[in-house]
Amino acid sequence: MLPDIYELVDTMLKEERQQTILSEVELHNRILLTDIAETLDVSIDTIRRDVKELDAENKLRKVHGGAVSLGFTMNSTRNQNIYKLEEKNKIAEKALTLLKPGSVIFIDGGTTCSELARLIPQNLDITCFTHSLPVASELLTKPNVNVIIVGGQVSSESQTTIGANAIHNLSEIKVDYSFIGTGYVDSFYGLTEFDWDIVQVKKAVIKCSKKTVLLSISEKLNSQHRYKTCDINAINTMITELDPENELLNSFRNHDIRIL
Amino acid sequence: MLPDIYELVDTMLKEERQQTILSEVELHNRILLTDIAETLDVSIDTIRRDVKELDAENKLRKVHGGAVSLGFTMNSTRNQNIYKLEEKNKIAEKALTLLKPGSVIFIDGGTTCSELARLIPQNLDITCFTHSLPVASELLTKPNVNVIIVGGQVSSESQTTIGANAIHNLSEIKVDYSFIGTGYVDSFYGLTEFDWDIVQVKKAVIKCSKKTVLLSISEKLNSQHRYKTCDINAINTMITELDPENELLNSFRNHDIRIL
DNA sequence: TAGAATCATGCAAATATAGGCAAGGATTGG
DNA sequence: CCAATCCTTGCCTATATTTGCATGATTCTA
């Protein structure tokens, strides 16, 4: 707890008290309102009001029963210029309609999936696995989302975990929906990638999902590459920014895919 | 007219009075209007008006019931940076000397550890485990660092993975050095934390390390909290921003700890 | 799901503030 | 020297802020 030095002061200005609170939060990352109240010898209400003010001033973050330092949660790097952001936004919006309270989902890496993570409503109560650092960071801003990161070696390129460990960890979970992106998609060749490691992880993701949802901008339709993730049938729902009736999607209709 | 001798003695010029107020504020960082009024034997209104003027001249800051020095409130703008960044930087620099090419290490969460991650040289070839998202992000900028993130549920407060899964994952690795922070440290009570979950993870980290290095700013010395991570003996090396010979570290010398 | 802890809200007492006012003293111009 | 004026100061009153307590609502936890 706090050193007893502070107790010597019997009349404290509000300003001083708030500075003390700030220092304690910065120092220990987190404090209890009750601790501070006891140490500074004021009522819990006063501390609560102080912390509320400091929170409003963005000096710290108030949490139930205490306060945490901002330095911790300072999570800035939001990339402003994502390629085709508008389209990806549209896709993410459609994907959101699939989410129900209590769902357990997996979200893949990539900008489209990050966009989905960003748009998840604050009050939606879900459990979300991911192997993407940016997605995890984004989800951490949602108080009602339970975030679980799939451990493993981190690929600096994709900012996602890959490799045997990640795949093994995925083998031990089962999610309702997985939302995945892909490098290339074609109605005949299925989902393909440039990178072999990424393919292995995506295979594991699909295997651990009851339903797999593909998020892809229409620009990727009818393209292919070296390594295959899965047949197109492995996808249960496919979301593009296009209207579901758009003729560009025709070649995907014969398969058992729901198109949104 | 009567001689004004007496009045001259206890009549203070406005200028003089304001100077006194200023010195008092500088000396004590804060003053109460009532205190000053009593000391200088003028009405509270006069002092209030003085302080108001001084505030307008930016000589101090007036607050409800008193005034605080400008330097005192300067702290409020520090939120841009990390609290005590300079000290943490110094600590990180010292920690760096322990790293050798080929090392396998673990880096904990927290701002001090993030600072260490930031300062790892580009060309240093190491394998680094972490359960902290910010640390992982930082390390990803180093091409020669192999980053492995310990999977598990992510705590939004600390931006680290916690819980049974993270602990289990830690149980399956062994690292040469772990660099850990702590909320509170005391030579008698050892390392303690506010948060029970964090303690469990730190215990697991210590268990999977051949050597454990504690990074802590001196401000945390001789503080304690509710949950215990480990005895002070569990620490092999302790790094603060202080000179190793500093007397503040005396109480840690009887233990088998290397102090840097 | 129940009990405990924490929270938001309203209230009242104590204290602090702002602004008006008047009594000096100081200053200035004749 | 006098008088008009300004500045400073203390006092007063209406208003605002701060704080602790009581209350019921909400959230957390086991």
SS3 assignment for chain A: CCCHHHHHCCCCCHHHHHHHHHHHHHHHCEEEHHHHHHHHCCCHHHHHHHHHHHHHCCCCEEECCEEECHHHHCCCCCCCCCCCHHHHHHHHHHHHCCCCCCCEEEECCCHHHHHHHHHCCCCCCEEEEECEHHHHHHHCCCCCEEEEECCEEEECCCCEEEHHHHHHHHHCCCEEEEEECCCEEECCCEEEECCHHHHHHHHHHHHCEEEEEEECCHHHECCCCCEEEECHHHCCEEECCCCCCCHHHHHHCCCCCEEC
Tokens of B115: 């600072």
- Provide, as residue numbers in chain A, all residues whose Cβ is less than 8 Å from the Cβ of B64: 13-14
Q: Which of B158, B116, B153, B201 is nearest to A70 (CA)?
A: B158
Helix (H, G, I), strand (E, B) or coil at B6: helix
In total, the C-beta contacts within 8 angstroms joining chain A to chain B are 145
Per residue in B149-204, pLDDT tens?
999 999 988 899 999 999 999 999 999 999 999 999 999 999 999 888 999 999 99
- Predicted pLDDT at A1: 41
CB of residue A11 closer than 7 A to nucleic acid strand D?
Answer: no
| Type of residue at A52 | K
Report which of residues B74 and B130 the model is more confident about. B130
pLDDT surpassing 60 at residue A76: no
Picking from A179-183, B37-41, B102-106, which range would have the lowest pLDDT averaged per residue? B37-41
Query: B205 with B170: CB under 8 angstroms?
Result: yes
Residues A32-51 pLDDT 10s: 999 999 999 999 999 999 99
Contact A31, A1 (CB under 8 A): no
pLDDT of residue B83: 76
Res A16: pLDDT? 92
> What whole-number distance in Å separates Cα of residue B217 and Cα of residue B177?
19
Which domains does chain B possess?
Answer: 14-76 (1.10.10.10), 85-259 (3.40.50.1360)
Task: Give the tokens for residue B40.
Answer: 């200088």
pLDDT of residue A10: 59
Pair B59, B82: CB distance under 8 Å: no
- Tell me which residue in B63, B110, B169 faces A15 most closely, judged by beta carbons: B63
User: Distance (Å) from CA A95 to C1' C4?
Assistant: 40
pLDDT band with cut points at 50, 70 and 90 for residue B5: very low
List Cβ neighbours of A171 (8 Å cut-off, separation of 6 or more).
A204, A207, A208
- Identify all chain B residues contacting A70, using CB atoms and an 8 Å cutoff: 79
B249 token code pair: 């570290």
N-term to C-term CA, chain A? 55
> Per residue in B29-40, is it b (16+ CB within 10 Å) or e — as a string?
bbbbbeebbeeb
Q: In the prediction, which pLDDT does B8 show?
A: 38
Q: Give the β-pairing of A209-215 and A237-239.
A: parallel
Report how far residue B14's alpha carbon sits from residue B149's, in angstroms, rounded to the nearest whole number: 65
Collapsed DSSP state (helix, strand, coil) of residue B254? coil
pLDDT at A254: 77
Mapped onto helix, strand or coil, the DSSP state of residue B213 is strand
Rounded to the nearest integer, the mean pLDDT of chain A is: 89
Of B116 and B70, more confident: B116
Residue range A141-196, pLDDT digits in tens: 888 899 999 999 999 889 999 999 999 999 999 999 999 999 999 999 999 999 99
pLDDT for res B73: 65
Q: What is the DSSP letter of B202?
A: H
Two tokens at A49? 């009001």
Q: What is the distance of C-alpha A95 from the center of its chain?
A: 14
Q: Does A165 touch chain B (CB under 8 A)?
A: yes
Q: What is the pLDDT of residue A231?
A: 93
A257 has pLDDT over 70: yes
CB contact under 8 A, B149 and A161: yes
Q: Is B250 left (phi over 0), alpha (psi -120 to 50) or beta?
A: alpha
Of residues A29, A148, A153, nearest to B152 (C-beta): A148
Confidence of residue B72 (pLDDT cuts 50, 70, 90): confident
Q: If you average pLDDT over every residue of chain B, what do you get? A: 89
pLDDT in tens, B202-255: 999 999 999 999 999 999 999 988 899 999 999 999 999 999 999 999 999 988
Distance from CA of B21 to the nearest CA of A (A): 16
* Amino acid at site B219: E
In Å, what is the separation between the CA of B229 and the C1' of D7? Answer: 66
Q: Is residue B9 over pLDDT 70?
A: no
Q: Is the pLDDT of residue B70 over 90?
A: no
